[in-house]
Amino acid sequence: MKSLNGKVVVVTGAGSGMGRAYALEAVRRGARVALNDVDPGDLAETVRLCAPAQVLARVFDVSSIADFTAFAEAVAAELGPADVVINNAGVEGEGQPFWATSEESFERVMGIDFWGVVNGTRAFLPQLLDGDPGYLVNVSSLFGLIGPPNHSDYSSAKFAVRGFSECLAAELMDTPVRVYTLHPGGVDTNITRSQATQAFRGKYLKTSPEDVVRLVFNRLGSSRTRIVYGNRAASTWLGARLLPQRLMNRLVSVDMKSILDRSAYPASAWLAARRPDGEA
């Protein structure tokens, strides 16, 4: 979709990275934008960069369905019904093997990366159904296609986004709403903020957010609703489709071995700590 003149585009996680890139590209194409982020300072900077376009901005956590519903009501009242909704907000996990990953991390990542997508869909779907057409973009990840080591919390959420989006797309087949699932590869954003994931960032996050965003907007209206793009994306997608699971697991593990913190490995050490005293 080359032009977004007269359209209302909703973007979550718009304070930085791909979210900011979506906002700026939507404005460049003529849209009015409704933006969310949990960080008021980052969101204010995105709003400033979008000037002089018409912008509605709200600070809230996307894991809250009540806040999301209030946001959707404000968008309809102030800008008009949404034409494009991009459920982009996301956070990283702890970057540790499963046995060293806290329950709190699973809850936090699922709350934002998965439930944020569900909440955004639930809040805005009535508006999209009234459009002709309406476009919903749910952001999964390359890690919604493969399960890499040290990312069980993050990958679980992104696989859930993929499953949810594919079910929803089938359910909405005979409606004016088209559902797109985005699986970006290594995109150079600030999602990797913890010390544990800096080596991962340096090795894999190479693709510019602007390249991904332009592709997504250009794809709207297309029947090609699975979008796989970015560093390592094509080869990973082919491997996930064509290779036996165990072989793909081995290749991914070998590729990532040099950047993993080995202090929490091997799993046998974790298991040994839970054996009865004296057991060999």
Residue 224 is assigned to a structural domain of this protein: yes
Residue 259 is assigned to a structural domain of this protein: yes
4-10-11 Cα angle (round to 5)? 110
Residue 2 is assigned to a structural domain of this protein: no
Q: Extract the runs of DSSP E, i.e. beta strands, from 194-261.
A: 226-229
Catalytic site includes residue 154: yes
User: Of 154, 180, 204, 229, which one is the catalytic site residue?
Assistant: 154
Walk along the chain (280 residues) and give the pLDDT tens digit of each residue.
789 999 999 999 999 999 999 999 999 999 999 999 999 999 999 999 999 999 999 999 999 999 999 999 999 999 999 999 999 999 989 988 998 899 999 999 999 999 999 999 999 999 999 988 999 999 999 999 999 989 999 999 999 999 999 999 999 999 999 999 999 876 555 554 445 455 555 545 557 788 889 999 999 999 999 999 887 788 888 888 999 999 989 988 887 788 777 777 765 655 655 555 544 4
Say which residues have a Cβ less than 8 Å from residue 221's Cβ, sequence separation at least 6.
1, 133, 135, 178
What is the number of structural domains in the chain? 1
Tell how far CA 104 is from the center of its chain: 19
| Nearest Cα residue to 160 out of 101, 216, 106 | 106
Residue 195 is assigned to a structural domain of this protein: yes
Residue 85 is assigned to a structural domain of this protein: yes
Q: What is the pLDDT, as a whole number, of residue 280?
A: 44
Range of the domain at 191: 8-272
Residue 267 is assigned to a structural domain of this protein: yes
Residue 175 is assigned to a structural domain of this protein: yes
**Within 13 Å and on the Cβ side, how many CA atoms surround 246?**
0
Looking at residue 82, which CATH number applies to its domain?
A: 3.40.50.720
Q: What is the pLDDT, as a whole number, of residue 203?
A: 47
Q: What is the pLDDT, as a whole number, of residue 197?
A: 52
Q: What is the pLDDT, as a whole number, of residue 209?
A: 86
Residue 279 is assigned to a structural domain of this protein: no
